[in-house]
Amino acid sequence: MDTPTDRYLNPHQARERAPTAYESLLGDAIERAFGAGIHDLQGLLAALNRSGPNAPNGQPWTAQNFQALMAELGS
């Protein structure tokens, strides 16, 4: 039987599918930026535009396309 605490220990509990290769690359790039002390949106976008991956449409990252993708992936 699960205890209430057990339900919150699985980091993938809300995942309905495995991440795509692109999502994994993007997640790794975001983690690297955070690890480098970047915590603001403009800094994150600059880091992503330097190191990749590009936005899904192949264009540079903007606040609009980043926020739209995060909303899509979070739904």
**For position 2, what pLDDT does the model report?**
54
Q: Is residue 10 part of a domain?
A: no
> Residue 64: what pLDDT?
97
* Domain range enclosing 45: 19-73
Question: Does residue 14 come out as left (phi exceeding 0), alpha (psi in the -120 to 50 range) or beta?
Answer: alpha
Q: Considering the domain boundaries, does residue 7 fall inside one?
A: no
> What is the pTM assigned to this prediction?
0.79
User: In three state form, how does the secondary structure of 1-64 look?
Assistant: CCCCCHHHCCCCCCCCCCCCHHHHHHHHHHHHHHHCCCCCHHHHHHHHHHHCCCCCCCCCCCHH
Amino acid code (one letter) for 22:
Y
**pLDDT exceeds cutoff 90 at 4:** no
Higher-pLDDT residue of 59 and 2 is: 59
What is the rounded CA–CA span in Å between residue 14 and residue 44? 25
Task: For residue range 29-61, list pLDDT tens digits in order.
Answer: 999 999 999 999 999 999 999 999 999 999 999
Total tally of structural domains belonging to the chain: 1
